[in-house]
Structure 1
């Protein structure tokens, strides 16, 4: 285990602590079919349920666009909230069972990207933000969420800690904060402010070319652009509750 704990001390990766080294050694030592699954901890399974909620939201959005059945749109809006609940409980369970792991940290970031990055972006497209510039902004939103999660994993050890060892603040908006936008989309859905009904609020502007062309943009896409900027901000510090 000492070799694993001290791997790349002189390279780009820091040495692992005893708990991390022990968890990594377990994955290294386990062979055979389903060895990865056998090494999952309870917290890891809860994290995977977060990802399940995000993926189900994505497919529900697709089903709504195929069928125009609003029930599927409500599924798509509600499942990211389920993802948030699983995201909250996986950390609680990991601390309760004292079973945090490197795999769990990576799973958490990947699940968050699906539930709070990709799913909210597709929801925006589903309700009506479908111009070429809209999709560019939504893509940037997802990529900023990805960059924010990667930065968190790489720099969390540098953030000041409290007496309990928890980070005092987040650098930039945490990606689960995108559920605020999902709440806004739910309000639009309730009021029929979506494509195929009354249309997205505030309408569009044409930055170049003709209406309906590549230069058209929904004004409310600015919400996603601003959120993307706040997620990757280094100067914005959100106190951790």
Structure 2
């Protein structure tokens, strides 16, 4: 029996992970469940945050920063809800798994990095660290998708633990930045100021190292975090 035929046998019509197709044509609408719509709302929050950050760079209105920071935990709320709804309705799919990872990358990877840039971490080395952070988030989400089928689960199908810190933990950094903005410690007044390594062009802000630590913890193989 060919591998293709075996795959067809494995994915039965009533399999909740099956992706519906008609003669090879993928129908996006047919494969969307309520949980997937909630996942998209997470992505909406992430995009809203990024746009608010961009508006701040033009307007210098601190309220745009607050909108950016508020949108990210709103995304986490939807990220929390989508898995619960999928398990309660027993309606999950491979499409939903990929949607979740992409939405998480926007809301908890790109959006926090954009916020850091907006509030003053704008040197070349700052950008290198922020890029490293986002790449760690991409790698962490890809590893989860590739290994989730082999990880231990409870009776409801929920994974018992995460390998490395989940990407939403980046919101802890956002909380710190929110306090700094509220207390006026941003732009030229960031804690630690600007450290010059070899001239001004090679300076960096020590607080950006929070992103380096967060990214490194995300890709850790030995660190196991119980899933709530």
Q: Fold match, TM over 0.5?
A: yes
User: 1:186 maps to which residue?
Assistant: 178
Q: Which runs of 5+ in 1 are unaligned?
A: 10-14
Q: What is the deviation of 1:166?
A: 2.3
Q: Deviations over 1:116-160 (max 9, x none)?
A: 000000000011100100001000100100000000000112222
My pick for the range that moved more, 62-71 or 163-172, is 163-172
1:147 aligns with 2:143: no
Q: What is the deviation of 1:85?
A: 0.5
- C-alpha distance in 2, partners of 1:204/1:54? 29
User: 2:226 maps to which residue?
Assistant: 239
- C-alpha distance in 2, partners of 1:167/1:147? 19
User: 2:208 maps to which residue?
Assistant: 221
Q: What is the deviation of 1:95?
A: 1.1
Q: Which runs of 5+ in 2 are unaligned?
A: none
Secondary structure of the corresponding residue to residue 149 of structure 1: helix
- C-alpha distance in 1, partners of 2:108/2:83? 17
- C-alpha distance in 1, partners of 2:95/2:115? 29
Q: What is the deviation of 1:240?
A: 1.4
Relative distance call for 1:37 and 1:165 in structure 2 (3 A) is closer
Secondary structure of the corresponding residue to residue 19 of structure 1: coil
User: 2:194 maps to which residue?
Assistant: 204
- C-alpha distance in 2, partners of 1:74/1:5? 53
Secondary structure of the corresponding residue to residue 189 of structure 2: coil
Q: How does 1:26-65 map to 2 (within 5 A)?
A: 26-28=20-22, 35-65=27-57
Q: What is the deviation of 1:163?
A: 4.0
Q: What is the deviation of 1:167?
A: 1.9
2:87 touches 2:156 (CA, 8 Å); kept in 1? no
